[in-house]
Amino acid sequence: MNVDLERLLSLQEVDGRISVLKTEIAALPKRVQQIESKLASARKRVDDAKAAIKANEHARRNYEQDIQSENTKVSKFRDQSSSVKTNEQYKALLHEISFSEQAIRGYEDKILDAMVELEAHQAELKAAEAALTSETEVNNREKAEATQRSTETERELAALVAQRNELRGGIDESLLVQYDRVSRGRGTGLAEARGQRCMGCQVMLRPQVWSVVQSGGVQSCDACSRILYYNPEKAEPAPAASNIPQVERDWLFLPAMGEHGAFVVLVNSKGNATMKAYDALTGSALEKHTEKGTTYQQAFADLLRDGRNLFVDEPGIEDKHKEQLPPEILEDLRHQIPRSAARE
């Protein structure tokens, strides 16, 4: 592999790791905020329980004061009863005494209810304080882990930035400019070429480009502009020899054919060359032409020269779908051509 390509590949790996670390560092404040938020919730439960207990005590004091006030009224009315001169006045005082005594019993019932509620609030406070203690321990541990991770991340990032600068210093400037430009737009600046296809955008490569890439030269994908590299270890194995006559095919996109451009399949089979075209927008068959005793490389050389190579996984689809390409095949073919080349 070309030395610049090897360095660019290493640079892309380093850049990818730097991007991951920067994302982690940027997410740290939010992570700390989430940790603090859990602790704040535990503190609020304790505060709410304490507030409920305080309100309960305040209510009981008010009830006790109300009872004292009513007892004062009862004493006053009893004192007055000894000096009244008519039965009507005496009955009125007895009514007032009965009313105050009934009010006292009501306040006493409320005090009993408040004491039952107090036990519940105290239990809530105890549970909330235990939870706060536990959450505080977890909070401190998680923040310490987050801080340690942040320190390690910063250290690793600094080392990678230094490695990145060293790598960039040994790469051809024009390649760096292209790598940076494509990376900004595509996320990556390099893509592996495998099986005559760019693995970054899945578009088939022109034979000339594929040949240069295989030989270790520097080429870019026509579709996505990524710089291509070839890894022989991942090369697809050559098909095994067979006694069955081999059928040779090429799929092309011809923008000038038909109203919307055409997807064309060229086939060599049994000594004959066949061309079949489908409308690039609708997938409908446009035309079919066969030349006997020749190859499509000779019979349709002009189409090969003007067309853009495409990739089709399924061999022989032109035989299975004589009048209309299926939607999934049509969509895959349209995906392989640049938008600017498609005429809708």
Q: Domain ranges for the chain, please list them.
A: 3-169, 174-234, 248-341
Q: For residue 72, what pLDDT is reported?
A: 94
**pLDDT mean across residues, the chain:** 87
Mark the ranges of the chain whose per-residue pLDDT is less than 50: 238-245, 340, 344
Judge whether 324 and 283 are in contact, CB under 8 Å: yes
Find, among 71, 72, 76, 77, the residue nearest to 91 by Cα: 77
pTM over 0.75: no
Give per-residue pLDDT as tens, 270-320: 889 999 999 999 999 999 999 998 888 889 988 888 888 887 767 788 888
- The residue type of 30 is K
The two three-digit tokens of residue 266, written as one number: 């060229």
pLDDT of residue 335: 82
**CATH fold label, 3-169:** Helix Hairpins (1.10.287)
- Say if strands 190-194 and 227-229 run parallel, antiparallel, or are unpaired: parallel
Nearest to 283 by CA among 339, 225, 227, 329: 329
